[in-house]
Amino acid sequence: MRIRTAFRAWLYKEGSAYAFLSAYALLFIVFIAVPVAAAFLLSFTFFDAIQPPRFIGLGNYISLLTQDDTFMKYVLSNTIQFAVIVGPGGYALAFLLAWVLAQLPRLPRTIFALILYSPSMTAGVAMAVVWKTLFSGDQTGYLNSFLMSLGLLAEPIQWLQSPQYLMTIMIVVTLWSSMGIGFLAMLAGILDISPELYEAAAIDGLSSRWQEIFYITIPSMRPQMLFGAVMSLVGTFQAGAIGVTLSGSNPTPQYAGQLIVNHIEDYGFLRYEMGYAAAVSVVLLLMVLFFSRLATRLFATES
């Protein structure tokens, strides 16, 4: 009886909150929380999708660290190279462009913002059409044809198939399409800073544009900077598909564009070593979490 009244009281007080949350929570648990937990559990097993998973402890992690030459030699270094350039690079570029745009009147600003954002809308498949043609390996490829007409090239280069160039092209294409939602957030953040702050700073003797950026603009828009940082992090680590899309194969030619995401797909969906692939996934999730913590430290609002 008492339990029932307690339940009634709870239902009256908090019930509607949970009712509003229920649909989202259910979908979140089923499609995000459970898969993450399952990935964690599977990473301690040998699982080939046919027989039931067999517990092997840290075996997968140990072989990842000691035996997986491809991972150590190509995947890890590729991912780091890619992430270090595209992550901070794209982020800095987004901030600078947002700052420059904020110096323009409304109409040109809107037009430029739209142009800079538009590559993010061509995500995925539509992009493959464009870039594959531009970097096409024979003499009808735009880049080859252009460089040959300038006399810089004697014969066409297999841009997308050559290990030498694939990573560079991946980085260029990803930077090109990196002005996403983080960029919009930063632009809005800059526009939102009250002009009085700048006036006050000018009176206090702040003169150069760079001082203004470092002492006023960035500190006043920490939330947007943090949001942008997290979005760019996730985007960077998610961008794995690009190498496979461009080169048309997984693994990419001589593993030149192989990123962690491709490694997971390679083991999980091509070799059916799902336990191992899950271990690699866990490593990827931990990397993203680690870097996000770092970003949060940098931009956390002091309270």
Partner 1 sequence: MTSRWLRRYTGTQNRGINPQGFHVSQLKFYILLVPLSVLMLLPIIYIFSSAFKPPDELFAYPPRFFVLNPTLKNFTDLFSRLSISGIPISRYLFNSILVTLVTVAASILVSSAAAYALSKKRFKLKQTLFAINTVALMFVPIAVNIPRFLVIERLQLLDTFWVHVLPVLAMPVGLFLLKQFIDGIPDEVIEAAQIDGASDWWIYWRIILPMIQPALATIAILTFQSAWNNADISTLYINNESLRTLAFYLGTLTATTATGAAAVAGQGIAAAAALIMFLPNLVIFIVLQRQVMSTMSHSGLK
Distance in Å from the first CA to the final CA of the chain? 45
Tally of CA atoms within 13 A in the half-sphere of 137 that contains its CB: 10
Asked if residues 84 and 167 have their Cβ atoms less than 8 Å apart, the reply is no
For residue 258 the two structure tokens come to 């192989």
Nearer to partner 1, 167 or 283 (CB): 283
**Nearest approach, Cβ of 62 to partner 1 (angstroms)?**
20
Distance separating alpha carbons of residues 159 and 224, to the nearest angstrom: 37
Nearer to partner 1, 66 or 149 (CB): 149
How is residue 46 annotated by DSSP?
A: E
247 to each of 30, 69, 239, how far by Cα in Å?
34, 22, 14
Nearer to partner 1, 166 or 266 (CB): 266
* Among 237, 120, 112, 121, residue whose Cα is nearest residue 187: 112
**Nearest approach, Cβ of 202 to partner 1 (angstroms)?**
9
Nearer to partner 1, 1 or 204 (CB): 204
**Nearest approach, Cβ of 139 to partner 1 (angstroms)?**
7
**Nearest approach, Cβ of 43 to partner 1 (angstroms)?**
10
Report the 10 Å Cβ neighbour count for 221.
23
* Among 115, 130, 233, residue whose Cα is nearest residue 172: 130
Nearer to partner 1, 73 or 108 (CB): 108
Q: Do the bridges between strand 54-55 and strand 45-46 make them parallel or antiparallel, or are there none, so unpaired? A: antiparallel
Nearer to partner 1, 1 or 12 (CB): 12
**Nearest approach, Cβ of 302 to partner 1 (angstroms)?**
14
Q: Which residue has 């066409």 as its token pair?
A: 156
* Among 285, 184, 171, residue whose Cα is nearest residue 227: 184
Where in the chain does DSSP place strands (E)? 45-46, 54-55
**Nearest approach, Cβ of 4 to partner 1 (angstroms)?**
20
Nearer to partner 1, 75 or 284 (CB): 284
Distance separating alpha carbons of residues 246 and 169, to the nearest angstrom: 9
**Nearest approach, Cβ of 72 to partner 1 (angstroms)?**
19
* Among 276, 288, 233, residue whose Cα is nearest residue 71: 276
Nearer to partner 1, 1 or 160 (CB): 160
**Nearest approach, Cβ of 31 to partner 1 (angstroms)?**
5
